[in-house]
């Protein structure tokens, strides 16, 4: 499946019905620790944004997170790797096994799935559509919901197969790409929508192969704001910035006021601004509609630069160099 098809057929991923193997070894957990890197951790980031109070810890590193022993003992560790060969995730899985923790696996294959089968760990094998992990968010989200035994979340995600209409965001994505052409995107959102801002950033990094950065309100008003205080000696550094504002009607009024004041400052200093109004039908629809729009925008921006959007050759080169 090529990149364009993966966008157009994205809602079909929410039809996925995960089957938990070795389910008899799965016990009730009070906490969830997701091990993942890059696109394989992104689904957990987005689900945490949907349910910020869920006892979910996301670990993007070697080993296990530094948590109190009583939390670790009551946790289900979920090792997520689309390929099954992610070095850091394999390391965390091995450590969880050594500590005799309850550990489960989500993967399409590779070393991680083989370890799960050998050790009789509960696992979900997701379909291998030959896509990049960042494009498998529907599959990963459904699998995570299954392991967390969250029926409400699972049903909500399943409904997105019917609700999401990728083509309805295509023209907007083309327009955003035109606006951002020859600029460096800086994405701003509320802290509640940080995962969405992060997804926009890495979409431009991986799909378009350009620098992109993100920050969140209100923290950015206390430091990063100063870089827009233009001076003749520094203007050359910031004049290529284009500010992408993810605006949410559900953000608290003080955040909305900060967003409005920032827009006024940016316009006064002649910065390029792209305002994106997040959908407010449901939280899951808001999140995954943003995912679609970011994918369309980064795809069309890649086309303007004559860049192939799917492959990440420098990442693959790096992996080979560290072996």
CATH number, domain containing residue 242: 3.40.50.10490
| 72 and 221 inside one domain | no
| 252 and 148 inside one domain | no
- Residue 311's pLDDT is what? 87
Q: Each residue of 191-221: b (16+ CB within 10 Å) or e?
A: ebbbbbbbbbbbbbbbbbbbebebbbbeebb
Q: Provide φ and ψ at 35, rounded to 5°.
A: -100, 125
Distances in Å between the Cα of 115 and the Cα atoms of 4, 93, 95, 112 are: 33, 9, 13, 5
Provide the strand spans (E) within the chain: 31-35, 56-59, 75-81, 102-107, 123-125, 184-190, 213-217, 241-247, 272-277
Q: Residue 217, SS3?
A: strand
Domain region containing 215: 166-304
Domain assignment present for 281: yes
| 150 and 268 inside one domain | no
Measured distance CA(146)–CA(19) in Å, rounded = 8
For the beta sheet containing 56-59, the strands, ordered from the edge strand earlier in sequence to the opposite edge, are: 56-59, 31-35, 75-81, 102-107, 123-125
- Residue 1's pLDDT is what? 81
- Residue 280's pLDDT is what? 80
Q: Which segments of the chain have a pLDDT < 50?
A: none
Query: What's the domain count of the chain?
Result: 2
| 132 and 224 inside one domain | no
- Residue 319's pLDDT is what? 87
Domain endpoint, select from 163, 197, 231:
163
H/E/C letters for each residue in 234-269? CHHHHCCEEEEEEECCCCCHHHHHHHHHHHHHHHHC
| 30 and 158 inside one domain | yes
Q: How many residues does the chain have?
A: 323
| 23 and 122 inside one domain | yes
Domain assignment present for 143: yes
| 205 and 123 inside one domain | no
| 114 and 260 inside one domain | no
Residue with tokens 């197969």: 161
Cis peptide before 230 (omega within 30 of 0): no
Measured distance CA(199)–CA(42) in Å, rounded = 8
- Residue 323's pLDDT is what? 79
> 222 and 313 in contact (C-beta within 8 Å)?
no
Domain assignment present for 310: no
| 115 and 82 inside one domain | yes
Measured distance CA(58)–CA(44) in Å, rounded = 7
Domain assignment present for 245: yes
Tens digit of each residue's pLDDT (9 = 90 or more) over 119-152: 999 999 999 888 888 899 999 999 999 999 999 9
| 97 and 42 inside one domain | yes
């Amino acid at each position: 499946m090529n990149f364009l098809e993966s966008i157009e057929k994205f809602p079909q991923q929410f039809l996925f019905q995960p089957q938990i193997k070795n389910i008899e070894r799965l016990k009730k957990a009070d906490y969830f620790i997701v091990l993942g890197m890059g696109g394989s951790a992104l689904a957990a980031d987005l689900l945490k944004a949907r349910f910020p109070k869920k006892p979910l810890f996301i670990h993007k590193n070697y080993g296990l997170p530094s948590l109190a022993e009583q939390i670790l003992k009551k946790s289900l560790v979920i090792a997520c790797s689309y390929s099954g060969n992610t070095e850091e995730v394999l390391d965390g899985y091995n450590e969880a096994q050594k500590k005799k923790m309850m550990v489960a696996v989500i993967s399409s294959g590779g070393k991680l799935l083989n370890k799960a089968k050998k050790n009789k760990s509960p696992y979900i094998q997701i379909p291998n559509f030959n896509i990049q992990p960042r494009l498998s968010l529907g599959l990963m989200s459904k699998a995570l919901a299954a392991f967390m035994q969250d029926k409400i979340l699972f049903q909500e995600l399943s409904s997105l197969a019917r609700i999401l209409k990728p083509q309805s965001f295509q023209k907007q994505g083309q327009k955003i790409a035109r606006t951002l052409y020859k600029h460096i995107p800086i994405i701003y959102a509320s802290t509640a929508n940080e995962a969405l801002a992060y997804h926009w950033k890495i979409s431009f990094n991986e799909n378009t192969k350009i620098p992109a950065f993100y920050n969140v309100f209100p923290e950015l008003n206390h430091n990063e704001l100063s870089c827009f205080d233009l001076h003749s000696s520094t203007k050359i550094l910031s004049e290529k910035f284009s500010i992408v504002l993810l605006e949410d009607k559900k953000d608290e009024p003080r955040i909305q006021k900060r967003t409005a004041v920032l827009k006024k400052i940016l316009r006064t200093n002649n910065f390029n601004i792209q305002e994106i109004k997040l959908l407010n039908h449901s939280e899951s629809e808001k999140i995954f509609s943003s995912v679609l729009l970011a994918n369309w925008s980064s795809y069309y921006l890649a086309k303007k630069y004559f860049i192939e959007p799917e492959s990440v050759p420098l990442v693959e080169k790096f992996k080979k160099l560290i072996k």
